Structure 1
Amino acid sequence: MTMNRKTAAVVLAGGKGRRIGGDTPKQYLEIGGHPLLYYSLKTFSDSFVDEIYLVCGAGEEEYCSTEIVEKYGFSKVRSIVSGGRERYHSVYNGLRAIRCTCEGDNSDPCEIVFIHDGARPFVTEEIILRAYNAAVENRAAAVAYPASDTVKMSDNAGFVAETLRRDHIWLMQTPQAFDFYEIYDAYSRLIESEADILDRGVLITDDAMVLELFSDRRVKLVMGDRRNIKVTVPEDLELAEFYLKLRKQD
């Protein structure tokens, strides 16, 4: 499949996975005989996306190069980038690597960039395509899933303060897709304003939020999939194994 916009994906694999326990970062834990990170990299490699920029933990670059990229033949991985202290630092490092690479070799500039958590192994090419189409039309798109449970707001004492309208609640997933220069500019502004953001107690939890804070661009929500889980706690590994068995049956 060929698209008329140059695309790149920033795949984040720098998390330590403290909530999942153990010494091995969660993205390298094996399910179905492969590291967790393998599955999202394979999906993006098999898709129409032109290039992949893999962001890993500091000091893990050689491991990712030999044990992930070379071992499984992920030829679309253009660069392996060292991550930062927080997720938003890692995203910024990935975006900056895209810009530096394009400018350095005088190649066509990236137009649409996907940002994806490597700990979401069940992203599909269909989801990537939906995000791409929405980003081309709206310049910003985020994969999400409508909430099915009742959502409550609590007060500081742990009592119910408010019941939110469920029909307006979406649970965010990745990938999120953007016009490259708009999201790069927004992240640059975030890095410049980091001290103020921290002083205000603002927690940056996804990429769409960066546009919310540093741009007037509205982010289009794109239907995701319940199986597109982020492996965070031990129970998620069991669920991922189950989903992988279902995928093989399909």
Structure 2
Amino acid sequence: MVFGVILAGGVGSRMGNVEKPKQFLKIGGKPILIHTVEKFLMHDSFQELIVLTPTEWIEHTKNLLKKYLGEAGSTVKVLKGGSTRNETIMNSIAYIEEKYGLDDDTLIVTHDSVRPFLTYRIIEENIKYGLQYGACDTVIPATDTIVHSEDGKVITSVPDRSKMYQGQTPQTFGAKKLKELYQSLTEEEKEILTDASKIFVIKGEQVYLVEGEVYNTKITYPYDLRVAESLLNDQKNGQ
């Protein structure tokens, strides 16, 4: 079984002085989260679609899904997120395990709620390679030179750009394997995690690369909202 897991647990602190988390801000007349959920609802491979959000925003999320998506919105399960990204993912796995059970074929396609421009092709390839390899991550080649600094003051190294990639989402994993690997981490290992793919890397497991898109951008800053509006306008005008 394949599950879509949309991570909407952030509070959007980098968006500035706004009255709500960024996933609930509007672009093109609809909350960002709704645009993202719509992309997953277009795909018929999912057993269930799960959205994880801060506790105080659960009812608001349910109301938005009903308002903008009608009956389709009522099929989306809304759960409490965790205090970290990976704890939020673990909450989704706990729900799946309780309701459906976990086996080697249980796959979760995890995605940032504030990346509303993912495509059907990206979701399709995440499912395909997730089932084939057990873990995959959506990336694009780095276009800028990457500079590595140990102390944040001087350059330590300049990696070969041809081997560097910028991570996006979705990230897709065998749920059972991800749970086992996460539970085997030390507290020190958990502290250095940035995303779920790193769990596999730390434990020596391979993560397959899925080709992303430059416009599969994450809305983080106020400037990104203006870019997102422009992208939506281009899509409407067929550009």
TM-score by length of 1: 0.87
Which of the numbers 22, 27, 45 marks the counterpart of 1:49? 45
Shift of 1:211: 1.4
Shift of 1:76: 7.3
Shift of 1:96: 1.1
Partner Cα separation in structure 1 for residue 154 and residue 180 of structure 2: 40
Shift of the 155–176 alpha-carbon distance from structure 1 to 2, 3 Å rule, reads closer
Which of the numbers 142, 146, 161 marks the counterpart of 1:147? 142
Deviation string 1:54-108 (CA, Å, 9 cap, x unpaired) is: 10111211111112245413347442110111111111111111111214xxx99
Partner of 2:230: 242
Query: Structure 1 regions of 5+ residues with no counterpart?
Result: 1-5
Find out whether 1:203 has 2:200 as its counterpart: no
Shift of the 65–45 alpha-carbon distance from structure 1 to 2, 3 Å rule, reads same
Matched ranges for 1:60-139 at <5 A = 60-69=57-66, 71-73=68-70, 74-75=72-73, 77-103=75-101, 111-139=106-134
Greater shift after overlay, 76-85 or 172-181? 76-85
Aligned length: 235
2:105–2:131 CA contact under 8 A, matched in 1: no
Query: Structure 2 regions of 5+ residues with no counterpart?
Result: none
Shift of 1:157: 5.3
Partner Cα separation in structure 2 for residue 133 and residue 11 of structure 1: 18
Which of the numbers 35, 38, 49 marks the counterpart of 1:39? 35
Deviation string 1:174-204 (CA, Å, 9 cap, x unpaired) is: 00112221122223334xx3x3336xxx432
1:43 maps to amino acid: K
Q: State, as a whole percentage, how many aligned pairs show the same letter.
A: 28
Find out whether 1:229 has 2:217 as its counterpart: yes
Find out whether 1:59 has 2:56 as its counterpart: yes
Partner Cα separation in structure 2 for residue 207 and residue 57 of structure 1: 19
TM-score by length of 2: 0.91
Greater shift after overlay, 155-164 or 219-228? 155-164
1:221 maps to amino acid: L
RMSD: 2.0
Which of the numbers 201, 217, 221 marks the counterpart of 2:205? 217
2:196 maps to amino acid: D
1:10–1:114 CA contact under 8 A, matched in 2: yes
1:9–1:49 CA contact under 8 A, matched in 2: no
Partner Cα separation in structure 1 for residue 178 and residue 8 of structure 2: 20
